[in-house]
Amino acid sequence: MKKIASVAAASALALGVSAGAQASETLDSVKSKGFVQCGVSTGLPGFSNPDDKGNWQGMDVDVCRAVAAAVLGDASKVKYIPLTAKERFTALQSGEIDVLSRNTTWTQTRDTQLGLNFAGVNYYDGQGFMVSKNLGVKSALELDGAAVCIQSGTTTELNLSDYFREHKMSFTPVVFDTSDQTVKGFEAGRCDVLTSDQSQLYALRIKLADPGSAMVLPEVISKEPLGPVVRQGDDLWFNIVKWSLNAMITGEELGVTSGNIDSMKDSSNPNIRRFVGLEGPKGQGLELPDDWAYQIVKQVGSYGEVFERNVGEGSPLKISRGVNALWNKGGFLYAPPMR
């Protein structure tokens, strides 16, 4: 199936039927289609996962919804395309999707050699290890000789090799296509350790039959800045996705939420007046309606709301803000000023 998808994408490139690279072509096609095509994961709780009614939910899904709210004024106008780690870049390169929002790590190779642009970071992550509690392991440094389940086509695979090489330990990689399969392999005992980004480990842990039987080790062995990705060469679309994300972060900074934004519209605070599109640059440079940022917060929420709802205290994952707090609250999140 993966093979077919890759071959199809490669032939799409060869036939030249895919979207071209002229400025704003993506925006035009999104407007004429009436929806944003968004590449998401095949199911990762907290980031992109369908709920029991089949509606996609999660941090990454909310980035797609924010883009749809800004461009089309309706956050529900998104078509979700589930992709495996292996398929994701080809799908974006060939124009099958408009934006890839699928817990994708920003690296130099991906940013420079694949014809892609990372529009920012919506979650700062790091790779960790999950082990079964009855192994009695307390640190990743005790993992010499372990069999490790891992998802193919990820930076995780590379970090893992680096980490074990650096610490002169040996390991057996057991590579699966999807994160679901890695969980199955872990549960069946094919491997001692499951490795992935820490946020994913918490998400995958609640998929276990008995989540209490496994624990996440304290070591974080890599930097994994995850963010939305667009095709290179369409600067306007790149800006739209980048500023949709910035608007969510700025929204939290200004204290606006989906609940209070209507009452804040009359605020005398110039920052808020610029945010809701009453003053300042409005939507001009982005070729969007003036109230684009208002629509994002109204329909999707500020970054803080999105975080709490999907992965924070309001979710089964209960991940603390940590480095994903705002810059003035001890985290890394920092959006350039909207003016």
Partner 1 sequence: MPSDLKPGVAPSSKPKFWNDPDKRALLFQVLMVLTVVGFIGYLVNNALTNLEQRGITTGFAFLGQTSGFDILLSLVEYDSTHTFGTTFVVGLLNTLLVSALGIILATLIGFVMGVARLSNNWLIGKVAAAYIEIFRNIPLLLQIFFWYFAVLRALPAPRQSIEFGSAFLNVRGLYLPSPVFESGFGLVTIAIGIAIAAVIVLTRWNKKRQDATGQRFPVLWTSLAILFGLPLLAFLVAGMPMSLDYPALQGFNFRGGMTIIPELLALLFALSIYTGAFIAEIVRSGIEAVNKGQTEAASALGLPKGKTLRLVVIPQAMRVIIPPLTSQYLNLAKNSSLATAIGYPDLVSVFMGTTLNQTGQAIEIIFMTMAVYLLISLSVSTLMNWYNKRMALVER
Binding site for partner 1 (CB under 8 A): 2-3, 6-7, 9-10, 13-16, 18, 20-21, 85-86, 89-90, 93, 109-110, 112-115, 135, 144-147, 152-154, 157-158, 160-162, 164-165, 171-177, 181, 184-185, 188-190, 192, 231-233
Minimum CB–partner distance for residue 256 and partner 1 (Å): 37
Q: Which two tokens stand for residue 81?
A: 């395309």
Q: How many of the other CB atoms lie within 10 Å of CB of 269?
A: 12
Toward partner 1, which CB reaches closer, 115 or 280?
A: 115
Minimum CB–partner distance for residue 23 and partner 1 (Å): 13
Minimum CB–partner distance for residue 195 and partner 1 (Å): 12
Toward partner 1, which CB reaches closer, 161 or 260?
A: 161
**Amino acid making up residue 57:** Q
Minimum CB–partner distance for residue 121 and partner 1 (Å): 20
Cα distance from N-terminal residue to C-terminal residue, the chain: 47
Please say whether the beta carbons of 214 and 196 come within 8 A: no
Cα torsion angle, 109, 112, 115, 117, sign: positive
- Dihedral angle, C-alpha 107, 28, 287, 251, nearest 10 °: -50
Minimum CB–partner distance for residue 141 and partner 1 (Å): 13
Q: How many of the other CB atoms lie within 10 Å of CB of 136?
A: 8
Toward partner 1, which CB reaches closer, 213 or 320?
A: 213
Measured distance CA(48)–CA(28) in Å, rounded: 26
Q: What is the three-class DSSP state of 105?
A: strand
Toward partner 1, which CB reaches closer, 224 or 305?
A: 224
Toward partner 1, which CB reaches closer, 144 or 313?
A: 144
